[in-house]
């Protein structure tokens, strides 16, 4: 082991460290310090000369093959603009770029088809680390060989049993890898010029090559062997540069020039220079008068705080530029507030967005209008609302709701939902409750077909349809569909007893008072409460008028007279010997027996050899 010391200082090893490392120093060795020997200095110089690259400052370079970037297909150039650097970090970023360029990690370029934004990472030691955001430029196009990262458990398992470990600082490991010349074209970033020029107010102008004062004359001389096509390409590039300059949205000189031609802003400039009066001199100056304490003049332009006041002639162009990405009014206003101001700017932005045809085509749903309630019918079963529900438990269901009484019907349609099947179910329903005056439904083909229209026309039923894709227009049926679905799902179980579940729900709904009417659907539709297992007290007899009682009695008397023609009265007593009718043997029609009990007015219990038989008087 060679230990080289070129200056005085504390001993490298103390006794405690020697003891902990269990170094055998011999029985009579007492080591206090090591003086640098001439032989050691020679060894040091020899090692430094032989391995010069290892001892040079910096991180060095990987000696293996250059790194190639593998793409899924031919990469498409992506050029992103540079991100602004905080003023507090401008100097640090500039120095770090210079350092990386000096050590060879970066190479300066003047132009590129690819550009990725810089990312500044603060470090704990008050320094910075420069990274590049490739997630929107190169990374999506790379064909990455995904290597599974080890888990902490697997790493600790490999370290199990170790006693001595080496700590390696790989903070600049990526900078030690060399990229191939082709790969370097994809990983360029244009941040240096943005940092250098942040302290200046500048504009971009095209300057012809022959006017470059600092150009290398020999390298700029035209080559007589060049083909005319190359000159035409240079001319095309010149035109593109001019077009780019003309498309620049706004410049300070342009604002200053148009401010001088704006009569209102000229008055504002005069008041700023001379002082504002106590009262606003005219209505057109009111917006500026309210902000007068924050208005100043900078290079011939009016500035409100840190925002420049835009002349009227430039406002439309500013709005067009702000809406270039088709952002909404809120985002546009937030962006505009950072740099610009003019009267009613927020209202102008909202108006501009509202007039954008591209935004209107893909915009959100419009603000909904207030709900228009259906008028309440005057009579039960006057207007019904219908809709199809399902599949529920493998079946489709026709839901019908009476608008007056809220009486529900849930009719099993199986899997057949054609117009013919719906009409058949409605016929059966109308035979019970009668034909309604109106039917309200959605625009399903079952309800809009010519068959349904003809059925309604023949029965003098008016058809009403909800708006397309607007279920709330047929709200009563839609709500009943949801109520029906939720109720059946709450029952649980399989599909074997679905009819029983539906019957239970229908009966419960029909006898329960509805919150909209305060009465149960059965009361409003049938005029009475349906008896259920919940009823304990006996029901009160229904009041009938004397005229109605007399008519019913007369009708019943007439029916009895017609039925009793050809009949005679029979009387039986307990113990009478009789013959009773036998039904289960065609060979014997009558069997003898004894009356054992009189049951009611026309029923007897007769004891026979076959047991006790119950027979009507006509069967004895």
Token pair for residue 385?
A: 């609302």
Residue 370 counted as domain residue: no
pLDDT (tens digit per residue) in 258-315? 988 898 999 999 888 888 898 898 889 999 999 888 888 888 899 988 889 999 999 8
**Is 159 within the bounds of a domain?**
no
Domain range for 32: 15-55
User: Which one of 345, 360, 375 terminates a domain?
Assistant: 360
| Spatial separation of the C-alpha atoms in residues 371 and 471, rounded to whole Å | 12
Q: How many domains does the chain have?
A: 5
Q: Are residues 139 and 258 located together in one domain of the fold?
A: no
Whether residue 222 has pLDDT greater than 60:
no
Tens of pLDDT, residues 443-498: 889 999 999 999 999 999 999 888 776 666 677 888 888 888 888 888 877 767 88
Mean pLDDT of 135-142: 81
Query: Is residue 231 in some structural domain?
Result: no
In-domain check, residue 220: no
Task: Say yes or no to pLDDT of 398 above 90.
Answer: yes
**pLDDT band for position 321 (50/70/90)?**
confident
CATH code assigned at 257: 1.10.340.70
Choose among 374, 388, 381, 403: nearest CA to 447.
388
Give the position of tokens 């109520």: 483
First to last CA, the chain: 133
Classified as helix, coil or strand, 156 is: helix
pLDDT in tens, 100-133: 888 777 888 777 777 888 888 888 888 888 888 8
Do residues 49 and 79 both lie within one domain? no
In the predicted model, is pLDDT for residue 419 greater than 90?
A: yes
Contact 314, 346 (CB under 8 A): no
Tally Cβ neighbours within 10 Å of residue 392.
17
Residues 352 and 480 in one domain: no
- Is the pLDDT higher at 582 or at 32? 582
Question: Domain of 395: which CATH number?
Answer: 3.30.420.10
């Amino acid at each position: 082991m060679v230990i080289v010391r070129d200056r005085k200082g504390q001993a490298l090893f103390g006794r405690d460290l020697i003891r902990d490392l269990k170094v055998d120093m011999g029985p009579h060795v007492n080591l206090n310090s090591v003086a640098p020997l001439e032989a050691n200095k020679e060894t040091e110089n020899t090692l430094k000369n032989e391995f010069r690259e290892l001892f040079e400052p910096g991180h060095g370079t990987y000696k293996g093959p250059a790194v190639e970037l593998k793409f899924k297909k031919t990469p498409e150039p992506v050029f992103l603009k540079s991100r602004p650097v905080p003023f507090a970090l401008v100097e640090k970023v500039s120095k770090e770029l210079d350092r990386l360029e000096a050590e060879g990690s970066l190479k300066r370029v003047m132009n590129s088809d690819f550009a990725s934004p810089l990312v500044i990472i603060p470090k704990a030691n008050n320094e910075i680390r420069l990274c590049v955001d490739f997630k929107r430029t190169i990374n999506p196009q790379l064909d990455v060989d995904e290597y599974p990262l080890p888990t902490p458990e697997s790493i600790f398992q490999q370290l199990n049993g170790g006693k001595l470990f080496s700590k390696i600082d790989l903070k600049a490991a990526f900078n030690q890898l060399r990229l191939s010349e082709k790969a370097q074209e994809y990983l360029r970033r244009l941040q240096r010029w943005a940092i250098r020029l942040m302290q200046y107010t500048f504009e971009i102008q095209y300057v012809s090559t022959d006017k470059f004062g600092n150009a290398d004359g020999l390298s700029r001389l035209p080559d007589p062997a060049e083909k005319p096509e190359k000159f035409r390409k240079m001319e095309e590039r010149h035109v593109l540069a001019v077009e780019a300059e003309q498309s620049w949205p706004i410049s300070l000189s342009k604002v200053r020039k148009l401010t001088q031609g704006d009569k209102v802003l000229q008055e504002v400039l005069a008041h700023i220079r001379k002082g504002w009066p106590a009262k606003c001199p005219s209505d057109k100056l009111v917006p500026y008068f309210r902000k007068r304490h924050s208005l100043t003049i900078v290079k011939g332009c009016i500035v409100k705080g840190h925002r420049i006041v835009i002349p009227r002639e430039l406002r439309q162009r500013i709005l067009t530029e702000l809406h270039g990405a088709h952002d909404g009014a809120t985002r546009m206003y937030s962006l505009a507030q950072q740099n610009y101001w003019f009267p009613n700017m927020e209202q102008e932005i909202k108006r501009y967005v509202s007039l954008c045809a591209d935004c209107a085509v893909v915009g959100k749903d419009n603000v909904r209008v207030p709900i228009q309630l259906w008028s309440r019918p005057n009579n039960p079963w006057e207007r019904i609302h219908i809709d199809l529900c399902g599949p529920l438990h493998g079946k489709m269901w026709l839901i019908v709701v009476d608008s007056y009484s809220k009486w529900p019907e849930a009719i099993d349609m199986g899997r057949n939902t054609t117009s013919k099947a719906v009409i058949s179910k409605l016929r059966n329903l109308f035979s019970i409750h009668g034909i309604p005056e109106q039917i309200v439904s959605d625009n399903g083909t079952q309800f809009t077909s010519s068959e349904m229209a003809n059925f309604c026309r023949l029965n003098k039923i008016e058809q009403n349809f909800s708006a397309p894709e607007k279920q709330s227009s047929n709200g009563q049926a839609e709500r009943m569909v949801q109520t029906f679905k939720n109720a059946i799902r709450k029952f649980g179980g399989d599909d074997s007893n679905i009819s029983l579940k539906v019957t239970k729900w229908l009966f419960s709904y029909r006898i329960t008072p509805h919150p909209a009417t305060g009465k149960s659907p059965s009361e409003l539709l049938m005029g009475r409460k349906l008896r259920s297992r919940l009823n304990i007290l006996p029901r009160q007899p229904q009041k009938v008028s004397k005229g109605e009682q007399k008519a019913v009695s007369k009708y019943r008397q007439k029916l009895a007279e017609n039925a009793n023609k050809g009949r005679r009265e029979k009387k039986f007593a307990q113990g009478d010997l009789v013959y009773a009718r036998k039904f289960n043997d065609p060979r014997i029609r009558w069997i003898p027996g004894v009356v054992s009990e009189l049951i009611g007015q026309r029923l007897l219990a007769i004891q026979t050899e076959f047991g006790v038989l119950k027979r009507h008087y006509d069967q004895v």
